[in-house]
């Protein structure tokens, strides 16, 4: 079976739908800590919000980091942190530090 031909407008719509699904999934899984995402996948909610901000800037749209984070988190970042963020364990911090060294 070959890959279907998809025009650019449909590709953009599909990518946007996938992004919205990812954001909804991350909002629903507030139990998953950003440090765990960084340690396992090399990105977290903050990375996703930064990529969103960078995409906006590439289109000439000024978007602040706090506004981009609110788009991803579904609320102001400080509120999400207060409600959901737990202190990182020494093991999580060590793993993050090791991965950070490996990636420069």
pLDDT at 99: 81
Structure confidence by residue, pLDDT tens digits, 61-103: 999 999 999 999 999 999 999 999 999 999 999 998 888 777 6
Residues 6+ apart with CB under 8 A from 56: 62, 63, 68
Work out the average pLDDT over 5-18: 96
Which pLDDT band, with edges at 50, 70 and 90, does 30 fall under?
very high
Q: Give a yes or no: residue 59 inside a domain.
A: yes
Q: Give a yes or no: residue 7 inside a domain.
A: no
Q: How far is CA 16 from the centre of its chain?
A: 14
Q: Give a yes or no: residue 68 inside a domain.
A: yes
Report the domain count for the chain. Answer: 1
Work out the average pLDDT over 38-53: 96
Q: Give a yes or no: residue 13 inside a domain.
A: no
Q: Give a yes or no: residue 3 inside a domain.
A: no
Residues 6+ apart with CB under 8 A from 69: 45, 46, 49, 76, 77
CATH number of the domain enclosing 47: 1.10.3340.10
Q: Give a yes or no: residue 8 inside a domain.
A: no
Which pLDDT band, with edges at 50, 70 and 90, does 104 fall under?
low
Which of 51, 75, 79, 74 lies closest to 63 in space, CA to CA?
Answer: 51
The range of the structural domain enclosing residue 63 comes to 34-102
């Amino acid at each position: 079976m070959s890959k279907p031909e998809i025009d650019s407008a449909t590709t953009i719509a599909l990518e946007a739908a996938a992004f919205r699904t990812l954001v909804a999934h991350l909002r629903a899984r507030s139990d998953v800590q950003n440090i765990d995402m960084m340690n396992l996948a090399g990105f977290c909610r903050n990375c996703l919000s930064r990529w969103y901000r960078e995409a906006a800037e590439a289109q000439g749209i000024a978007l602040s980091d706090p506004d981009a984070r609110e788009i991803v988190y579904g609320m102001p970042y400080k509120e999400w942190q207060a409600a959901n963020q737990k202190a990182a364990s020494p093991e999580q911090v060590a793993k993050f530090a090791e991965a950070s060294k490996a990636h420069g």
